[in-house]
Structure 1
Amino acid sequence: PEGDDVFYCVNWSDGTGEVCTGPFPSGQPITASHIWTEPGTYTIIIKAEDTNNAESDPGTFIVTIAEAPSMQITVAGGFGVKATLTNNGPIDLTHINWSITLDGGLILAGKTTTGTIPGLENGGERTIKPSLVLGFGKTTILVSATSEEGINANTTASGFVLGPFILGVK
């Protein structure tokens, strides 16, 4: 109030402690940002302190950080190759474009296959696979998927193609 310069102190309530910035001219608006690394509900406490150590009453704000959406891919062999997409939540995913590519060896059929899954509910799984794989030799299996919400997943595995079979997938 006396026109003293002001420090602004914020506690984000995530264990990082109180962080003070300034000094700023009295009355100057400032902005602050923070990235939480864990989902949860946090009480943000902010106060102002002038250069004469006079403090404002703390203000509080409550923010809830949701779990980030994610998708996981697992690959298996056998008769052909198949990949399982798992939606780890917390939201349903829509229009998931996917691809499976076999790189290496002599691949006569099923080298690259693409498709779209209309939707995948929270916690749901969907298996994707080429209609036919035919070849011979060591190969690298690349699987990728991207949802309309911008959630991406990629994985790589290796195996051995023997006719229509994919053996030793790791």
Structure 2
Amino acid sequence: FTITTNDPDYDEVFYMINWSDGSEELLIGPFDSGENVIINHIWTETGLYSIQAKAIDSYDVESDLAIFEFSLSKTELEIVAISGGFGSVTIDIKNIGENIAEEVSSIVSVRGGLFSEINLTHTCSGCSECGTTLDPGAVKTENTGEAGFIIGLGSIEVSASAWANNAEIISKKTNGFVFGPLIIIL
């Protein structure tokens, strides 16, 4: 967070901050009037927070209380399916949490084949084309066809991971078989 106060008398300024998470109230300073002050804080629980801050100059003159509210929400993802097809592998990522997943990203790797000739990785890093959010209960599909066409013969291993800014990384592995461009997941 960045805080700035312009004291009319150009007095030095202190800041009193309550993070509304049960931690001690914070008094920091002095700072010059008009100086941008960067303050960091880490919340360990999800929930609605009401940050309260006020400026106090060197003569104990106080500003009005400024209140900033925000919600810190976590969610949970699950890779609900890994499926084969014609020349590609598809994964389905479901938001099984109660909050919107933000900046959803995934990576899918397909390795193997009779002579280890299959080595393909598809990455989606939350770009606008991939869809940056995922509503609770919604499913996002990623397909390795965007990274290349798979053709070969033999066993393969598929590794998939997904995460979001507010969800932990999850991973899933499975095996399959490639016969030409046909991919069968076991």
- Aligned CA RMSD, in angstroms, stands at 5.1
TM-score w.r.t. length of structure 1: 0.54
Could you state the TM-score of these two structures normalised by the residue count of structure 2? 0.51
Report whether the alignment pairs 1:140 with 2:157. Answer: yes
Alignment partner, residue 85 of structure 1: 93
Aligned to 1:14: 21
- Note closer, same or farther for the CA distance 1:132–1:86 as it changes in structure 2 (3 Å cut): farther
Inter-partner Cα distance in structure 2 for 1:155 and 1:162: 22
* Counterparts in 2 of 1:99 and 1:12: CA distance versus 1, 3 Å: closer
Q: Kindly state the Cα deviation for residue 45 of structure 1 after the two structures are TM-superposed.
A: 2.0
> Which residues of structure 2 form unaligned runs of 5+?
1-7, 145-149
Q: Equivalents in 2 of 1:36, 1:146: separation in Å?
A: 20
The corresponding residue for 2:173 is 157
1:31 equivalent in alignment to 2:37: yes
Q: Do the aligned partners of 2:174 and 2:185 also contact (CA within 8 Å) in 1?
A: no
Report the CA distance between 1:83 and its aligned residue: 2.8
> Greater strand share, 1 or 2?
1
Structure 1 residue 132: deviation in Å?
8.5
Deviation per CA, 1:71-92: give whole Å up to 9, x if none. Answer: 5434557999753211455269
CA distance in structure 2 between the aligned counterparts of 1:32 and 1:68, rounded to whole angstroms: 25
Query: How far 1:125 sits from its partner (Å)?
Result: 2.1
How far residue 24 of structure 1 moved from its aligned partner, in angstroms, is 2.3
User: Structure 1, unaligned stretches of length 5 or more?
Assistant: none
The answer to whether the aligner puts 1:65 opposite 2:82 as a matched pair is no
C-alpha distance in structure 2 between counterparts of 1:97 and 1:4, whole Å: 48
What amino acid is aligned across from residue 91 of structure 2 in structure 1? A
Shift of residue 107 of structure 1?
Answer: 7.3
